[in-house]
């Protein structure tokens, strides 16, 4: 075989592999992007699991729902951050922690609602854990995101409080 022909074939194969890898990466990025926005616009309290979901939304203001599970390696850090952030929240904001562990017994401030019902945990259909859902007073989920650390949770809570203040003025 001619060396030029062999080089063209090898380069063609490399270009095809790079194209396939790029297409796979693009597909994965789109899946992650869709997963991040999953749940936005969902009205809690509507549908089959109405009772479970309606327990998440409060009519007093914005509810910051944190979905955790018993096998989560960063959830302990999130719970510490919630303990620090909860006392400083404005009166129209509140935390709700939703756990799939019926034996959940972490020490959190009294202002933090804790829901230990696996049915409620399953009703939050975001495909990642831990997750933060910002729920408006009307029960509408306005924002969802995965939360990877207590520091990230603090930044997200600051943004949610600032957005609420901007919308009221």
pLDDT tier for residue 58 given thresholds of 50, 70 and 90: low
Q: Between 22 and 53, whose confidence is greater?
A: 22
pLDDT of residue 8: 94
Q: Is position 17 within any domain?
A: yes
Q: Is position 72 within any domain?
A: yes
Write the CATH number for 141: 3.40.30.10
Q: Which domain holds residue 114?
A: 50-168
Q: What is the mean pLDDT of the chain?
A: 82
141 with 58, same domain: the answer is: yes
pLDDT of residue 48: 42
pLDDT tier for residue 40 given thresholds of 50, 70 and 90: low
pLDDT of residue 47: 47
29 with 109, same domain: the answer is: no
30 with 72, same domain: the answer is: no
Q: Is position 157 within any domain?
A: yes
31 with 93, same domain: the answer is: no
By percentage, how much of the chain surpasses pLDDT 90? Answer: 29
57 with 120, same domain: the answer is: yes
8 with 87, same domain: the answer is: no
Tens-place pLDDT, residues 70-86: 888 888 899 999 999 99
Tens-place pLDDT, residues 5-19: 999 999 999 999 999
24 with 106, same domain: the answer is: no
**Mean pLDDT calculated for residue range 120-145:** 84
Q: Is position 87 within any domain?
A: yes
Q: Annotate the chain with DSSP letters as a single string.
A: --HHHHHHHHHHHHHHHHHHHHHHHHHHHHHHHHHHHTTTT-BTT-STTHHHHHTT--SSSEEEEEEE-TT-SSHHHHHHHHHHHGGGS-TTEEEEEEES-TT------TTSEEE--HHHHHH---SSSSEEEEE-TTSBEEEEEE--SHHHHHHHHHHHHHHHHHHH-
Q: Based on the structure, what is the number of domains in the chain? A: 2
pLDDT of residue 122: 84
Q: Is the pLDDT of residue 69 over 70?
A: yes
70 with 116, same domain: the answer is: yes
59 with 106, same domain: the answer is: yes
């Amino acid at each position: 075989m001619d060396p030029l022909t062999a080089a063209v074939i090898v380069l063609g194969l490399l270009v095809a592999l790079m194209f396939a890898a790029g297409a796979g990466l693009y597909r994965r990025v789109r899946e992650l992007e869709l997963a991040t926005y999953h749940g936005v616009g969902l009205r809690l309290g509507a549908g089959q699991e109405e009772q479970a979901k309606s327990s998440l939304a409060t009519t007093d203001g914005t509810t910051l729902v944190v979905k955790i599970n018993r096998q989560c390696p960063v959830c302990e850090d999130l719970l510490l951050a919630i303990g620090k952030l909860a006392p400083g929240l404005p009166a129209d904001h509140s935390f709700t922690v939703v756990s799939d562990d019926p034996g959940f017994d972490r020490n959190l401030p009294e202002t933090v609602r804790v829901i230990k019902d696996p049915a409620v945990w399953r009703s939050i259909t975001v495909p990642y854990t831990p997750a933060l859902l910002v729920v408006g007073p009307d029960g509408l989920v306005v924002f969802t995101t995965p939360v990877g650390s207590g520091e990230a949770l603090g930044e997200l809570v600051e943004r949610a409080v600032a957005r609420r203040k901007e919308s009221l003025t």
